[in-house]
Chains A and B, each alone.
Chain A
Amino acid sequence: MHIVDGALSSPVVIGGALIAAGGVAVGLKKLPLERIPAAGVLSACFFVASLIHVPLGPTSVHLILNGLAGLVLGWAAFPALFVGLLLQAVFFGFGGLTVLGVNTTNIALAAVLAGVLCRPGVVRGSPFVASLWGGLAGGLAIAFTTVLVGASLALSGEAFIPAAKLVFFAHIPVIAVEAVLTGMAVYLATKVKPELFGALTPGKAI
């Protein structure tokens, strides 16, 4: 899902950077200083989760879990996922530098959208209902991300359109895996610690 330097056209790179900057700014604004330790630990949690490989057919995929990040962090998913991508680029060489904005937008915007759509269902329902909404969030987030990745490629040049389509179809099984996994994770989290999905909303004591 990482796009690298040099592949995208300048308008796409700049547009992605602007959206990412806006998203990070909103996320930071909604994050009072007292919640930063919690956000940092969760950001680290999603960083570690993204290193988990699960089997898929003859191969394995690594998790992204941006849907879960959106559910737990809300808008704070933007800065949290940005930090994760920055660390991945700088220390592991994943992705690129000038495309950091585009990559952040592709993953975090999808996370926030899925979070906004599905969080009410997760917070209100029973663990079973919550897990269904959680699964929906997990699947939706990856679907949004692949569409955004495809759009970034397609907007950069006609030659990328087949690659963009390939990215989308190749990710359909990943969407299913992320949906099941996120649903299960939400099921367990709501059973063990029901207040978790409200942990970062302002006004409530942690």
Chain B
Amino acid sequence: MGHLAGSERATLNTATAESRLLQRLDPRTRVICVLVFAVCVVALSSPLALAVALAVPATLMLVQGLPIGKTLRRMAAMDGFIIFMLVLLPFTTAGPAAFTLFGFDASTTGIWKAVEIGLTANAIILMVLVLVGTLEPGQLGHALARLRAPETLVHLMLFTVRYISVLQEEYTRLRAAMKMRGFTPKNTLHTYRSFGYLVGMLLVRAVDRSERILDAMKCRGFDGRLYLLDDLRYSKADFTFALVFSGALVVLIGLEVFSGSAV
């Protein structure tokens, strides 16, 4: 269950981390903390407060002993999406020019805005990866269910998580069959047609599979409900963590209030 789309993309958790700090926390605590952190950090604008905000999940990552390179690479994957926007921003924002490149003025306001967005985005996504990305996908589903997320949505998510690896295998098989027949992706209509047929076949097989699943589940008395069996309980560790975490947030807000006007 812990494998979303192949082993390479499995959760960041490692078996050795079982006894670590975060492992003792209730998944609900982790979900709630991430949400509060995200809302809080989005509201910050002082670069100092944001830099400290990035340091919070980084510290957690080190304390938890997560694979640093792997975690940071995932964070960097997100940066790939925004790098163009951030680079453009100084040139498209009005304000006093900091430097000129190819005849375009880069404004100081724009540079700070880009720094602000970059820090915010990275701080939040790193916190998500460290606190929730280390959960088993199934645990996340249970936590959301216990936090009163709509039951249907949670069921949908649990089914999705269950079948991602199955369909990934299906896809790998189809691709292997194509490779055996000498298919190499190129910039040709043939390539796009082949990929289209591949997707269509994947879809047909997914629907066929879902019919078999439903039949099998009905045989076992499925009446439209999944009964989530777990014994999630808040413990002392959750209380302590929440307290320290709130302390960190208060520090962040303090930094924002006292340094925000200075920059």
**B88 pairs with A163, CB closer than 8 A:** yes
List 17 extra interface pairs beyond A34-B214, A83-B156, CB under 8 A: A4-B81, A6-B117, A24-B150, A28-B152, A40-B159, A45-B203, A79-B153, A93-B75, A94-B78, A96-B125, A97-B125, A98-B124, A177-B192, A180-B189, A189-B200, A196-B203, A196-B204
Count class of interface residues, chain B: 35 or more
**A94 proximity list for chain B (CB < 8 A):** 77-78, 81
User: When A90-B128, A95-B78, A96-B121 are in contact, do A55 and B185 touch as well, CB less than 8 Å?
Assistant: yes
**B163 pairs with A184, CB closer than 8 A:** no
A196 to B189, CA, bound (A): 25
Contact with B along A178-206 (1 / 0, CB 8 A): 00111111111100110010010000001
A92 to B70, CA, bound (A): 11
Q: Give chain B nearest CB distance to A46 CB in angstroms.
A: 9
**B167 pairs with A45, CB closer than 8 A:** yes
B202 interfacial by beta-carbon distance below 8 Å: yes
The size of the chain A interface, using a CB distance under 8 A, is: 79
Can you list 19 A-B pairs with a CB-CB distance of less than 8 A? A1-B81, A4-B125, A5-B38, A6-B41, A7-B121, A28-B150, A28-B156, A33-B152, A37-B159, A37-B213, A44-B159, A63-B199, A68-B199, A83-B160, A92-B4, A94-B81, A97-B34, A160-B85, A193-B208
Contact of A163 among B92, B160, B189 (CB under 8 A): B92
Contact of A90 among B140, B196, B200 (CB under 8 A): B140
**B48 proximity list for chain A (CB < 8 A):** none
Contact of B195 among A93, A181, A193 (CB under 8 A): A181
**A98 pairs with B167, CB closer than 8 A:** no
Contact with B along A32-48 (1 / 0, CB 8 A): 11101111111111011
A89 interfacial by beta-carbon distance below 8 Å: yes
Which B residue's beta carbon lies closest to that of A191?
B200
Contact of B213 among A13, A28, A41 (CB under 8 A): A41
B42 interfacial by beta-carbon distance below 8 Å: yes
Contact of B160 among A54, A87, A161 (CB under 8 A): A87
